[in-house]
Structure 1
Amino acid sequence: MFARLFAWLRRHPRLVDIVWALPITALSLAVTSNYTNSDIVGRRPIPELAYLAIVVGMCVPMIWRRRWPRAVFAIVSIVAAVHWAFNVEAGPADGNVFVMLYAVATGCRFRWSLAAALVTEFGSVIAVWRWWVLPNSSMNWNNLIPFTVFTAAVWIGGLYVNTRRKYTAELEERARRLERERDAHAQVAAAAERARIAREMHDVIAHSVSVIVVQADGASYMVDIDPARAKRAMETIGATGRQALTEMRRMLGVLREEDDAGSYAPQPGIEQLSELVGQIRSAGLPVGLTVQGVPSELPTALQLTVYRIVQEALTNTRKHAGPAATAEVNLHYGDDAVEIRIRDDGRGAAALSDGKGHGLVGMNERAALYGGSVRSGPRSGGGWEVFAHLPVTEPRPRAEANAA
C-alpha cells in the first residue's frame, strides 16, 4: 500500500509541492495578528497587506521548487532579506529558506548547493545579530549554534540525497545500456546463427543435389541399356535425398519452438568420411581416402568442420573437374593440428565457375573459427588442390605468448 502511494506521489510532484506549501501558508496566516498587532510587546507591527505579501512571496513560489530550485531559493531569500531590512521578525514562512536549501542541494550541482548554504548561514548570522544580540548587552551569540548546526544538517542531507540519486540514475543507465548491449549481442548471435544455417544448407543441398542430378542423368541413360545399374542409381538418389532431408530437419530444428518434440540425428564427423567418399564414388567420381598419423579424439564441432571441408571440396571437384577426373582425400593427424588435403586431376585452372558459390568462403570461415586456414588453387601438374590446416590445441592468449 505504501509503495503504491509513494509511486503515485512520485508521478505527481507538483501536487506534493502544493500540499507541502499549504500547511506553512496556513500557519503563517494563522499568526498574522502577531505581526500586525501593535499591542504585542517586543515586535514591530507592520500593515496586514505587507505581511500577506511576505507570506505569499515566501510560500507560493514553493510550488515550483522542484522545477526551478535556484530561482525559488533566490526569491525566498530576497523576500526574507526584505522583511529583515524592515525589522520584521522571522515567522513560520522563513522555514522555507531551509526547505529550498535542501531542494538546491538535492537538485543542483555542488557549487550551487554550497552557495545556497553560505547564503542561508549568512541569513542566520544577521538574524541572530539583529533579534538576539543587539537587544542584549551580553552579546550572546550562542543562539547562532542551533541555526548553524541545522543549516549544515540540511545541506549535508541534501548532498547525500543528490549523490544517491545520481548513483541510482547511473545504475539505471547502466542497466539500460547492458540491456541494449544484450539485445545487440542477441541480434549478432542470431545473424551468426542464420549465416551458419545458410552455410550448412549450402553444404547439404550442393552436395546432395549434385549427387542426385548425376545419378538421375546416369539412370535415365542406363535404364534401357543396363536396368540393374539404373536401379542402383535410383536407390542412391533415394538414399541421398533421405539423408539430405534428415540433415535439413536437424539444422532447421534450431528454429522450432522450445516445447516442440522431435529427434534429430547427430552431426556428421570424421567417422562419416568413409560414407561420404562412398557416396561420391557411387555418384561416378573415383575417390580415395587415406589417413595418416595417430587418430585422436577431436571436438564434435571440429570434426564437423573437417567433414564439411571435405564435402565441399569433393562437391566442387564433381562439379568442375570434368567427367574423367579422379580425386584423393588425405587426412593427417599431427601433434597439434589436423591437416586435410583434397586433390584431383581434373581441369584445374581451366574449370569454369558461375561465381555464385559460397563454398570456399564457408570453408575459410569454418577453419578460422579454430585458428586454422584453407588454401585452394590449381596444381602445377594439372588439377585442383584444397589444403586445410586446423589446430587441435587452444591458442594461448596474446599476453601469455608474449611472456613466453
Structure 2
Amino acid sequence: MGGRLRARWRGVRPLVDALRVRPLVDALRSRPLVDAFLAAPLAFYSLSGLVFDTTAMPKPEYVVWCAGLLAPLVLRRTYPRAAFAFICLVSFAQVVVKVIPMTPNLALLMGLYTIAAGPSFRWGVAAALVTELGVFVAVFRYVGGWGDQRYGLALMSVIVAGVWLLGLHMRTRRAYLRSVELRAARLERERDAEVQVAKADERARIARELHDVVAHNVSVIVVQADGASYAIDTDTARARQALETISATGRTALAEMRRMLGVLREGDDAGSYAPQPGVAQLAELVEQIRGSGLPLEFEVEGVPLEMTEGRQLTVFRIAQEALTNTLKHAGPRATARVLLHYGDEAIEIRVTDDGRGAAARGDGRGHGLVGMRERAAVYGGEVTAGPRPGGGFEVVARIPVREEVRR
C-alpha cells in the first residue's frame, strides 16, 4: 500500500511543483489582506458600539481611537515590531489623556502573539515585558482599591502570559516543521545521491561483465579465424573445425550478452536467465581455450569447497580474463597451465604461460587486470600479475573463503 502511494506521489509531484502551490500559499499568508481579514471580527465588534450607541465618548473620537489601535493589525505579520510599537504608543496615549480602555485594546494582545510567534525569542520576551508594564500602568490608573487592583493585575498578567506562551508554542511548532522539511529534503537529496552511486556501480559491473564476455569470445574468434585462413588450403578439416568453433563461440557470446542486457529492461519479468558461470564451468572454459589451439593443462588441488555464487563467478572471470590475455599476447607457440588450489582459508587460481612475457606489447586500452583486482577486492582477495623470471607471464588470484565455506 505504501509503495503504491509513494508511486502515485512521484507521479503527481511534478504537477504540484509546476503549479507552485506551496510558494503561492506562503505568499498569500504574508499579505496584508489576510491579516486584515483576521482582524475584521475585532473591528466589527468594536464598531458595533457605534450602532448600539454604547460608547462613552463622541463617535468621531471613538472611531479615531479604533483606527489607531486596529489599523496596525493589517501589517502585523509584514512589519510585526513596527505594528506592535505603534499599538503600544496609541495605548500609552490613552493613558496620558485618560481615555478608558476599550475593546480595540485587545489588538495589543494580537501584536504580542505575533512577536512571540516570530523567529526571535528575545523580541518575544521584550514584547511580553512591555505588555506587562502596560497592564501594570492601566490597572493602577483605572482601577481603584488595592483589592481590585491585585485581582485585575493577576487576571491581566495571566492573560498576557497565556498569549505569550501560545505564541511561543507556535514559534516552536513552526521551527519543528521547518526542521522536518529540511530533514526530508536532505534525506531526499541523499537518496538521490545513493541512487546515482548505485547506478554508477551497476554500470561499472555491467561494463566489466561485457568486457569479460566480449574480450574473451572475440579473442577466441580472432584466433580461430586466423587458423582457418592458414589451414583452408592445406587442411580443410581443420579449417572446418575452426569455423565450427567460431560459430559456437559467437552464439555463446550473443547468449551471454542477451542475458546481461535483458536484465536492464524495465517492466520485463518474462523469461528466465541462465545462472552465472562458476567453478564448475572452468572445465568447459579450458576445453574452449584448447579448441582455440592453445595447449593448456588444468589441475585441481585440495578438497573442493562450497562457495557463494559471487565468489565462484569471481574465480571464473579471473581465469577467463587471464586465459584471454594469454591468447592475445603469449604468442603462437605458447603453452599455458591453470591451477585451482582449495585451501583451508582461501581458494587460489594460478594461470601461467611460457609465451612472450615482458616482451608482449599491449594496446594500452585494456581493463582486464583492473577488473580482476576489483573483483577480488570485493571479497577481500588480491591479484598479482607480471612476467615470470624464466619467461612467460603469471596471474595469481587469492580469494578468502573461510567465512562462508563448509566442506
> Same fold by TM-score, threshold 0.5 exceeded?
yes
1:21-80 deviation digits (Å, cap 9, x = unpaired): 22222222333599997xx5xxxx4x6555433322322221222232222222222221
* Counterpart residue number, 1:272: 281
Equivalent residues of 1:246, 1:264 under 8 A apart: no
Work out the CA distance in 2 between the residues paired with 1:144 and 1:33: 32
Work out the CA distance in 1 between the residues paired with 2:70 and 2:376: 75
- Between 1:96-105 and 1:304-313, the stretch displaced more is 96-105
Work out the CA distance in 2 between the residues paired with 1:17 and 1:285: 88
Structure 1 segments, 4+ long, off by >6 Å, are: 7-11, 33-37
Q: 1:143 aligns with which of 147, 152, 161?
A: 152
Equivalent residues of 1:21, 1:60 under 8 A apart: no
Letter in 1 for 2:209: E
**1:285 pairs with 2:294:** yes
Work out the CA distance in 1 between the residues paired with 2:358 and 2:71: 90
Deviation at 1:151, TM superposition (A): 1.1
1:344-382 deviation digits (Å, cap 9, x = unpaired): 111111111110001111111111111111111111111
Letter in 2 for 1:118: L
* Counterpart residue number, 1:312: 321
Q: 2:67 aligns with which of 37, 56, 64?
A: 56
Work out the CA distance in 2 between the residues paired with 1:209 and 1:137: 106
Work out the CA distance in 1 between the residues paired with 2:293 and 2:85: 94
**1:16 pairs with 2:34:** yes
* Counterpart residue number, 2:390: 381
Letter in 1 for 2:164: W
Provide TM-score, normalisation by structure 2. Answer: 0.88
* Counterpart residue number, 1:400: none
Equivalent residues of 1:35, 1:51 under 8 A apart: no
Among all aligned residue pairs of Structure 1 and Structure 2, give the percentage whose two residues are the same amino acid: 56
Letter in 1 for 2:393: W
Work out the CA distance in 1 between the residues paired with 2:246 and 2:296: 19
Equivalent residues of 2:140, 2:149 under 8 A apart: no
Decide whether aligned partners of structure 1 residues 267 and 391 sit closer, same or farther in structure 2, where only a CA change above 3 A counts: same
Deviation at 1:108, TM superposition (A): 2.4
**1:80 pairs with 2:91:** yes
Root-mean-square deviation (Å): 2.2
Q: 2:244 aligns with which of 216, 225, 235?
A: 235
Letter in 2 for 1:28: S
* Counterpart residue number, 2:174: 165
The 5 A counterparts of 1:204-283 are: 204-283=213-292
Secondary structure in 1 aligned to 2:293?
coil
* Counterpart residue number, 1:111: 122
Deviation at 1:18, TM superposition (A): 1.7
* Counterpart residue number, 2:81: 70
- Between 1:185-194 and 1:59-68, the stretch displaced more is 59-68
* Counterpart residue number, 1:401: none
Q: 1:187 aligns with which of 196, 202, 220?
A: 196
Work out the CA distance in 1 between the residues paired with 2:341 and 2:65: 96
Aligned length: 380
Equivalent residues of 2:318, 2:372 under 8 A apart: yes
Work out the CA distance in 2 between the residues paired with 1:154 and 1:137: 26
Question: Structure 2, unaligned stretches of length 5 or more?
Answer: 1-21
Secondary structure in 2 aligned to 1:288?
strand
Deviation at 1:140, TM superposition (A): 3.3
Decide whether aligned partners of structure 1 residues 137 and 343 sit closer, same or farther in structure 2, where only a CA change above 3 A counts: closer
